[in-house]
Structures are given as C-alpha cells and as structure tokens.
Structure 1
Amino acid sequence: MRFRLFARMIPANGRMAAWGAAMDWTAFFFRFNGRINRAKYWFAALIYTLVLIALVVAFIMALGDFDKDRIGEMVGTSLLFIAVGGLVFLVLLWSSFATAIKRLHDRNKSGWWVLVFWVLPAIVGAVADGLGGTASLALNAVSVVLSVWGFVEVGCLRGTQGPNEYGPDPLGAPAVAPAAS
C-alpha cells in the first residue's frame, strides 16, 4: 500500500499547474469547509511545529548574546520579533483552527466543537490560574479532560466512512468485500 498524503490534490496524470497547486494548499491550510484525514491533520501539525521552532531559533539568533550596553538595540529587535511573531502566531492559529475543523467534519461533527476542545480548556485553565487550592485543581482537571478528549477526537479517531454532510470521504470510497464463492 502506497502512502499518499496529498493524493486528492494531484491529478491522475501527476501534473498540476503551479497556480492550481497553490490554491489547493491555500484551501488545505486556510479554509474551514470539507474534510481531511488524520494523516493530513498530523502533516499540518508537523508544519506548524516546524514554523514555530524556526521562529524561536530566529528570535534567539537575532538577540544574540545579552549585552547591557546594547539594550536599546535589543529592544528594537525584540519589538520587531514580537510583531512578526504575533502575525505568524495569528496565521498559524487560523490555519490550525481550519485543519481541526476539517478533521471534526471528517468525524461528522460540527466545527463548533473546536470551541469545546481548544477555547474552553484555555479559558478554564486561565480561570484556574487565578484561583487557588481545590477549585484550581478541579478546573485544571476539567481543562485536561477536555483537551485529551479533543486530542483523541481530532487526532486519533478514524473519520466517518463514505460521504457525510461535510463532503466525500477523504480516503476515497470504502473497498467492497468480494462476494463469497
């Protein structure tokens, strides 16, 4: 069996115009409609991770060695990287929401579930940080449970076989078992 991560994005003849390929990648990373399988979701997660690592490495290299005599220079560099990093973060956030929503669609679930799996745990965790004691522990436990549920739902479970209300099966038509003879 051949591993074909983006088989649906490449025509049967193997050729694709550069503009068409760019549009497919744009749709993959930034549109909220349709379905994607687990392999494409994890591929996108790898891309996001590599971009974030590159951003952190660039930031560290730009700051160089800390020197109190160059603090003004470093503040300017830091502000530039905060602006660029913030922009990159927003693009990655949008794209990660888009890919997660398409995975939820593959599971035949509304994209609004991303609020339960990502946004709610962040809010609950922030509230828990401001509390203390047992309430903080309980809220952090709720946050962890929601996050793990989201991880399993989006990243681990197989999508709905065959077409659903969000589009065709990204893995193609299910194989039909041969008739017994």
Structure 2
Amino acid sequence: MTIQQWLFSVKGRIGRREFWIWMAIWLCAMALLFTLAGSDWLSLQSAAFILVCLLWPTAAVVVKRLHDRGKSGAWALLLILSWMLMAGNWEMLAGIWQWALGRFMPTLIMVMMLIELGAFEGKPGGNKYGDEARPVKFR
C-alpha cells in the first residue's frame, strides 16, 4: 500500500502498526498545532483549517482499520457521537446525568474504539473489504 492510499483512500485494510503510526503522527501534529496557536505564532483560523485538513486522513485510517477487523466504516460514526456528547450542554439534567452523558459515555466510547482499533488483531485472510492487510511502503 502506498502512502497516498494509506492516508486518502477508505478502501482496503491496514494493520495495527500503520494505525499506531498515524495516531503518533496525529498526536504530534495536534500538540504542535495547539502549541503554535496558543503562543500566537499561528492564527486561530489557520489552526482550525489545519485541523479540518487532518480529519480526512484520520477518517481514512480509522475506516481501513475497522475494515481489517471485519467491521463497516460506519462504526467510525461512534467517534463523532462521542465528540458530540462531550461538546453538549447537559446543564438541564441532574448532576449524575450531566456526568454520565457529558463525560462517562464519550470516554467509554473512545476507550472501547481505541481498544478495538489498536489492540485487537485483524481478521486473518481476506474479507469483504479486501485482502489481508499489507504494510505501507514508506519509501
């Protein structure tokens, strides 16, 4: 698999190694982005633009990793649900429900997805999403 297929295509499958490589790159990019934006070296609009540009490669990597596990890419919508729950205003609810919907459920979803994508091996052999995952050719 080429780097272009790895980062911009939702077709195919990738293994845990490629998933963790992208997550490390993404984490470093986010840390650098927020550091530059926080110290006024980068405007907030530029930081937001870069963040939006990084959404597609992240979605492509997550969907291909789900395919390797034999699951549909639609499972990635759980990550959007967890973000929406975390960003919601739950002040209209009683204290325990604010915590449950605004913190516990999003954290549970994210941890379960991280375990699913990053810890479990892919299904051996081919499946309906493609042949067995091949390593990315970084050179």
Distance 1:26 1:138 in 2: 40
Please report the TM-score for the alignment, with normalisation by the length of structure 2: 0.83
Structure with greater Cα Rg = 1
List per-residue Cα deviations over 1:61-83 (Å, max 9, x = no partner): 5x3xxxxxxxxxxxxx76xx222
Matched, 1:51 2:24: no
For the residues of structure 2 that align with 1:123 and 1:57, how far apart are their CA atoms? Answer: 24
What displacement does 1:57 show?
3.8
1:59–1:110 CA distance, 2 compared to 1 (3 A): same
Taking structure 1 as reference, are residues 164 and 142 closer, same or farther at Cα in structure 2, changes over 3 Å only? same
Verify the 8 A CA contact 1:128 1:135 in the aligned structure 2: no
Distance change (3 Å), C-alpha of 1:146 and 1:57: closer
In 2, Cα distance between equivalents of 1:46 and 1:159:
20
What displacement does 1:42 show? Answer: 0.4
8 Å CA contact 1:36–1:170 kept in 2: the answer is yes
Indicate the RMSD between aligned Cα atoms, in angstroms: 2.1
Uncovered stretches (5+) of structure 1, i.e. residues with no partner: 1-8, 10-23, 64-76, 173-181
- Residue aligning to 1:96: 58
Q: Which amino acid aligns with 2:48?
A: G
Q: Between Structure 1 and Structure 2, how many residues are aligned?
A: 133
Residue identity opposite 1:27 in structure 2: Q
- Does the CA contact (< 8 Å) of 2:37 and 2:44 recur in 1? no
Partner of 1:16: none
The structural deviation recorded for 1:34 is: 0.7
2:48 is aligned, of 86, 91, 96, to 86
Give the corresponding residue for 1:146: 109
| Equivalent residues of 2:14, 2:61 under 8 A apart | yes
Query: Does the 8 A contact of 2:13 with 2:134 survive in 1?
Result: no
Instruction: Report the counterpart of residue 34 of structure 1 in structure 2.
Output: 12
Note the C-alpha offset of 1:31: 1.2
- Give the distance between the partners of 2:115 and 2:45, measured in 1 at CA: 33
Superposed displacement of residue 92, structure 1: 1.2
Q: How do 1:102-117 residues align onto structure 2 when only pairs under 5 Å count?
A: 102-116=64-78
* Cα gap change, 1:58 to 1:35, in 2 (>3 Å): same
Distance of 1:54 and 1:141 partners within structure 2: 28
TM-score, structure 1 length as denominator? Answer: 0.66
Where does the alignment leave 5 or more consecutive residues of structure 2 unmatched? none
